[in-house]
Amino acid sequence: MKLTFTLFTLIISSICLAQNYNVAMQVSKSDLELTSYAKDSTANALVIYDHGNSFVDEETFWLRVQVKQKIKILRTEGIERGEVEVKLYKGKSSKEKILNIRGATHNLVDGEMVKTGLEQNAIFREENENYTLVKFVLPNVKVGSVITYSYETQSRFMSKYQPWYFQGPDPVLYSEYNTSIPGNYEYNIKLVGSMPLEVNETSLKKNCIDLRGDAGADCAIAKYVMKNIPAYKPEGFTTTPLNYTARIEYELSVVRGFDGSVDKLTKSWVDVDKELKSDKDFGRQISKKSLVKNILPKEITSIDNDLKKAKAVHQFVLDNYRWNQKYERYDVSVKNTVKEKIGSAFEINMLLENLLTSEGFKVYPILISTRGNGLATKIYPVLTDFNYLILKTSIDDKDYYLDATEPYLSFGELPFRALNQYGRLIDFEDGSYWEDIKIEDYSTRIHKIELSSFKDDVFNGEVVSKSTGYQAHDLKRMHSENPQSYKENKAEKYSEIAIEEHRVSDLGKNSYEFEENIHFTLEPEFIGNKIYLNPFVVKFFEENPFKLQQRTYPIDFGYKDIYNYVLNIDLGEDLNVVEIPGSVNYTLPNKSSGTFLFNIEHKENQLTLYFKVKFDKAIYAPELYDYLKKFMDTVVETQNNTVIVLERN
């Protein structure tokens, strides 16, 4: 009775979980009859069942990974799921194998289930120097099909135990990963993403490896399960998907030989700091006055104000040395960079560190991982996680982050790619530590518009635009590289107005600000004697950037920003106000998250519009996504559909 009750409970829970899909490898008629997934109506396919089993073979001591999946095709775009790729790594003395590839496509034909098996001639291999790419194509896949496949890989490469991705481009009803790891190997195990494990069970299996005689090992057994996993769908304002895709990863930390030897691979940060200090590509390249002797001109070394001198040194590097767009942390040579006038990000910023140190500044290098490279692991040292270097110095009790790779950055600004939450500050005297990389200043974009001189049914106007910080970087770059193209693109973008004159203030490439002035004419819409005017002659947002039904990862702007729009209409003696829209005051949760203000004031012969969008955080948790989506709906709706009605006297 107890067993029967347990089985009944499992069956009921599976039905509830699957919403009538059969959560197992067997394909049922109900799997084929269902045409949608209630929790995600936009899904191209649905992974009904996802199962992995990894263990070390007792005879060969190879890592064996057995994979099987069952997928429902919901839309035409999902048919490509019937083409499966498996990448097999090649080493110097060994290469990974794939065995037992099996698959089938299940369709409903005239009410009957029809199964079509995978043919051997539909399995293909592509070879290159590092990998073998195995592809197999399931037959007769169409909307409504259910496909099933399984295979096994075998590998001698134990340095990275097989990771498991619970989350992917399609929603997943059930994903299970089972592992058996011999005691010879210890791994640092990391769960990535915000999705919780519904099952996380571990146990010990005695003598799972028996090599006869005295050699053998116990195994750590684990079972991990996630259920109802939403698809990872890419959208703007984020970093790499590797930061947030739900998965389990393994980093080998200790190898124990059957002869009693122990090889400790993962070290403490104390050990890593010692290694970095003597590293020819790192410690031997920083704080070495001999590498930059007599490089700085006297007009810089003679400056007696610390901040002015630091800015001059930074500018000297920007003016005389060029970043080669490379990130390599190895084969670093400040000496060659000085000679060739070009270098990697590590070399350029190490050169800046040496020059500042030679002038008496205390400078700390910070190892970081860029936004496109993923977040660096904090729980244990993984130097390969870091692909970039920035600097930190303090002048007159104020901290500055420095980077000399981009000519359009002002002193104390980092390139956008470096805004990835934190880095490891290297201090060879007191020990390294994690440093949060936070940009406290708001970046702004401001438009001030004057509409005046309404003659011959046309407004004459002026736009004065000012951008600061990260809002200014791309504008400075685009205008500096091709002024004519910049102005042509601006005229195309500002299609509601006719640009008569366009002037950009020359504030320098690495100014914190970018300013431009546009004189224009505007023909409003007339209906009878009334003038219908959308007051947003230029717009910040063409559409709402947030369109997903659900987002499982943070909204990462990288920095805080403000959008400000002020419009003044001089009504003079020719125009009267007939109708103006009401005010809007919209606040994100917790008040400190962000605000949207919109208001129009009419005083005497002046009509003044105020519009302000303020984001008070650089990063918003995914729980706030729906609020941000509604927030931006309101902002875009206000921009696109606000109408002021005027009439001639």
Residue 12: is its pLDDT beyond 70?
Answer: no
CATH fold of 269-436 reads C8orf32 fold (3.10.620)
Please report where in the chains the tokens 């009750």 appear, as a residue. Answer: 5
Lowest mean pLDDT segment, chosen from 95-99, 209-213, 558-562: 209-213
Residue 375: is its pLDDT beyond 90?
Answer: yes
Total number of residues shown for the chain: 649
CA distance 322 to 344: 9
What are 221-246's pLDDT values in tens digits?
A: 999 999 999 999 999 999 999 999 99
pLDDT of res. 407 = 92
Tokens of 457: 């049914």
Residue 8: is its pLDDT beyond 90?
Answer: no
Higher pLDDT, 81 or 263: 81
Angle at 575 between CA 571 and CA 580, to 5 degrees: 80
Which region, left, alpha or beta, applies to residue 193 given φ > 0 means left and ψ of -120 to 50 means alpha?
A: left
Residue 69: is its pLDDT beyond 50?
Answer: yes
Residue 405: is its pLDDT beyond 70?
Answer: yes
pLDDT of res. 213 = 62
The residues, any chain, with a CB within 8 Å of residue 78's CB and separated by 6 or more, are 43, 44, 45, 143, 170
What are 419-442's pLDDT values in tens digits?
A: 999 999 999 999 999 999 999 999
Residue 4: is its pLDDT beyond 70?
Answer: no
Spell out the domain ranges in the chain: 2-264, 269-436, 443-648
Residue 15: is its pLDDT beyond 50?
Answer: no
Closest CA to 266 of 332, 186, 324, 338: 186
Architecture in CATH for domain 2-264: Sandwich (2.60)
Residue 93: is its pLDDT beyond 60?
Answer: yes
pLDDT of res. 610 = 97
Closest CA to 599 of 560, 572, 564, 646: 564
What mean pLDDT is predicted for residues 129-146? 96
Residue 20: is its pLDDT beyond 90?
Answer: no
pTM of the model: 0.88
What are 253-306's pLDDT values in tens digits?
A: 999 887 778 888 878 999 999 999 999 999 999 998 888 999 999 999 999 999
Tokens of 155: 């590998």
Residue 298 belongs to what H/E stretch?
A: helix 298-301
Model confidence at 361, in pLDDT bands (50, 70, 90)?
very high
Q: Which H, E and C letters describe 51-84, residue by residue?
A: EEEEEECCCCCCEEEEEEEEEEECCHHHHHHHEE
Please report where in the chains the tokens 């942390």 appear, as a residue. Answer: 329
Residue 330: is its pLDDT beyond 80?
Answer: yes
Please state, rounded to an integer, the average pLDDT across all residues of the chain: 92
Residue 479: is its pLDDT beyond 90?
Answer: yes
